A and B are shown apart, each in its own frame.
Chain A
Amino acid sequence: MKLLSRKASCNSHGQDSSYFAGWEEYEKNPYDDVKNPKGIIQMGLAENQLSFDLLESWLAKNPDAAGFKRNGESIFRELALFQDYHGLPAFKNALGEFMAEIRGNKVSFDSNKLVLTAGATSANETLIFCLANPGEAFLLPTPYYPGFDRDLKWRTEVEIVPIQCTSSNGFRITKSALEEAYQQAQNRNLKVKGVLVTNPSNPLGISLSRHELNLLLSFIAAKGIHLISDEIYSGTVFNSPGFVSIMEVLMNKKYVNSPVWDRVHIVYSLSKDLGLPGFRVGAIYSNDKMVVDAATKMSSFGLVSSQTQYLLSAMLSDKKFTKNYVTENHKRLKQRHAMLIRGLKNAGIPCLESNAGLFCWVDMRHLLSSKTFEAEMELWKKIVYQVGLNISPGSSCHCVEPGWFRMCFANMSEQTLDLAMQRIKSFVNSISYSNNLSPNQQHSNKSSRRKSFSKWVFGLSFHDRESER
């Protein structure tokens, strides 16, 4: 008899994807500026490590919050016993207000409609369990976060049908792409239950335009289906145009009393905006009472630790702190993003113009030996193993065009980013030298050209530094 379940024996957990293979390589040989300067630099992890000092200084000034105390009195017992899946009211209120603040207070969130979950991973899975039956489908614009293959499909047995977005229009969602995806699902005999978008987008780093949001609402209205808006990166919009949440557009008169009102659900988390992925704080927000009820019950499978809820309720209720944090965080992200763009430009590598996220969507199509995914894989392997950068290939994000890569910029120090840029520049130069593609990209240091492909990159870290940008 087959010992384990189908779910345990199949590949739907998605971890055979290249997205994770790169991580494994990094784990085997991780860069460290002192202990392993030749190691692989992790640029495949969308983490926000830029503003920890702000959190640390808040904690230093507010020791009670983490010390299980309220006004100097221990509340350890109450917290240890608190397992109500409705969540700590103070925390939900503070979280709702924080979410509103990120949206410029153009929308407000009712904490009764908020469900706490163990990270956005759990929020997304829970919503799918609530909205779709096994074998049914959700439409997702490509490219999308590789983790969705696991989160949305694995245990739920729901299918993802892609909404193909292309570079021809900056990967924006179009009406025809939506219709085509819906049709595709019909052809495959899959009942579509909704659309899921990430706004701002991972991996694109762009916030959805009002036009796209309206398009989405009209589409789901016409088809009678749901819309999940994963707004996990909402607090990372560092440039104009500002962030427009689906909730803002929903407040428009024509949607307020329509059936669509109940069919739009938001997913949020503190993993990206506050940089606290370890604390597992996710949330679902929905206007549909039945969804809130069902999701609340399901949250039993992944509640947020009361210890963490309490700490964060104190932190997020400190409005002075949150206001300052949001502003400062934007500033630092903007700076870091600019640094990556400059570095890539210097290497002749363009990026999709972006205003959000912790990464750039990088265009390396011109470096492919052919316009194929095989060539993309070939290039990717070179970048991981030889250049020593773990970046994420577009194919792992289900991009339909080969040659695009996601590179993260907020999970390392400036020095490390600088080094990464040097490595990529040298790599590009050596290719252009050997392929004679761009004579303009001549390397000023002749000696490095003589080094063999596998040896040159390691010498670069100390001896062959480029002139600083």
Chain B
Amino acid sequence: MRCQSACAVLGFLNFTQGGLRSLLFYKMLEVLKRPVVVTTNINLNIVALTGVGLLSRLWHLSYPRAVVFDEVYYGQYISFYMNRVFFLDDSGPPFGHMLLALGGYLGGFDGNFLWNRIGAEYTSNVPVWALRLLPALAGALSVPMAYQIVVELRFSHCTAMGAALLLLIENALVTQSRLMLLESPLIFFNLLAVLSYLKFFNCQKHRPFSLPWWFWLMLTGVACACAVGIKYMGIFTYLLVLGVAAVHAWHLIGDQTLSNVLVLYHLLARAVALLVTPVTLYLLFFYIHLTLLCRSGPHDQIMSSAFQASLEGGLARITQGQPLEVAFGSQVTLRNIFGKPLPCWLHSHQNTYPIIYENGRGSSHQQQVTCYPFKDVNNWWVVKDPGRHQLVVSNPPRPVRHGDVVQLVHGMTTRFLNTHDVAAPLSSHAQEVSCYVDYNISVPAQNLWRLDIVNRQSDRDTWKTILSAVRFVHLNTSAVLKLSGAHLPDWGFRQLEVVGEKLSRGHHESMAWNVEEHRYGTSQEQRDRELELHAPTQVDVSRNLSFMARFSELQWRMLTLRGEDAEHKYSSTPLEWVTLDTSIAYWLHPRTSAQIHLVGNIVIWASASLATATYVLLFLWYLLRRRRDVHDLPEDVWLHWVLAGTLCTGGWALNYLPFFLMEKTLFLYHYLPALAFQLLLLPLVLQHVYDHLCRSRVQRHLFSTLVVAWYSVACHVSNKLRPLTYGDSSLTPGELLALRWRDSWDILIRKS
């Protein structure tokens, strides 16, 4: 909302020295003689646009009172926030989820709803209106913002209205912003970033370092951070803004009317606003996220032991009060740090390797050692000093240090962890790891392991529970205990294979292990020890991980987490988006055929693509002609034309083309941010054609008429598709069939 208010401010004067008093009094009188005046400029266009924007997005917002499409996911996360339970979502940083959760918080949502299927009716405790409010507001405010962007690009108000109205009636944008989804906030912040950069850029000429200059500059950085914080996709718009800012800064460097110091100030201000601020804000989002989510939840397993221990409940409950330093005689469970394909613990059991594998190779027939993804009593190992016989911790405990040689004794079977020069069952290039069974044949026991603490501070570091990442280096063969990632066949109960890998292959996280559960063993007898192993570990004291450590771990897991490649009925390829060859059924009324369907206004999509092509062709044409010294456009028109094109076409291309390189499952709604930029471009191209390509009056009139006719058609189409957008009226199968303009649209028709 552009609302310039110029206030005639009352002067405040302090009563100071007596000599000045009469003068001041006189001045005060003068001030009082004038009336207090507040003048404001209100652009009614903007007010009107905001009004209709709100109307289109908020109308019947809480309908349907049922879970629509991806609300099933986001709703789940909202519930997690409400219950403050930790979760991990690899689809994007947490700011977007937190925005949605804010709606829930304001609406007083208690988080008690089972988000299990699309179409489920909301119970009365779910504040649907409040939950959907923020995305809807973001969608509504995008409309006046489009207007302002076009105005700031120095195009006419009429063109600006055109852009805003296109955004207003575009069905896909309306659908997407009326639900608990993240695209509309993303588009909002994308546009906000572009708008504030333009405002800043326009301030630059007249009033650098003024208050508005700073305000718009900082807002650019903030909006970029928010866009990136909602979805990683936001990074494309961030790059666009950064790129444009870099080019402008480069011109600034070349401006020799400015002094060197001033140029430096300019560059520093930009660096602070566009680089430092977004990074800080991004960290802040995670900080809030991690502060809010302090309880253990369903995704704990993916995180490291240390991270889990920092959450309330879950592992923290088990590991609290454990002794910190592992000593000779300690009973431990060892978790693999890499944890792929599954988080698991070093495990052994009575069963032995088969004498002959399926492919005819032989094994040592000793006891199996595996990695097992569930907590189990067979995951317990005792750390033994090779020099002594006892399996209990002496008093005082003798801590194990980096470089010490240890034996690992399997708690339940009292056999020693062993490896030897026999090929492992599946990874035949590596050594088999077993628990040694003495068959009295010529295979000697080789059960000495050197402890190698990977993240040690000094070479005499002690081995710490949870915190230390350790490797076990086999003394005889210098093989390292490693999780190979392969699943054993049935004879190994489909547990994961553990092998001894040659150290020389370089370090890999799958070779590192950490102690998760730990206690000082006290039972010398095997029978007592078995009882002890079955007993739960003791309690108390929490371990805190620094924010940066938690942040980097969480961020890394989010980026590297790979879900199974999800096939989806409504997934599509980027090529199908431009031509609108695809649609997504969002929701179907349980009884009638009223339904919500994500489908775009086909007239607008087609003309937007056409406009983009026209822009590119015209741009190339002008560029080539300028190179031959033919200037079709005046210099300032050309500059505006280039800037507008860079932002709009560039925004479209950056938000669209990278999808061709992505291998994840893609949906139509991924195109919406790119579409928003395209809609900004469309009226600009129309105005350009009107101003510069229509030569005669008649042509201009004709062109205006065509544009009006085209817009009416767009409105008509929009209205036709309205039942699918709002899902508020039930159509007959015939009407639905009539709406199926493309064979590939999956409009749902009830068989009655």
Physical interaction between A and B: no
Binding site for B on A (CB under 8 A): none
Binding site for A on B (CB under 8 A): none
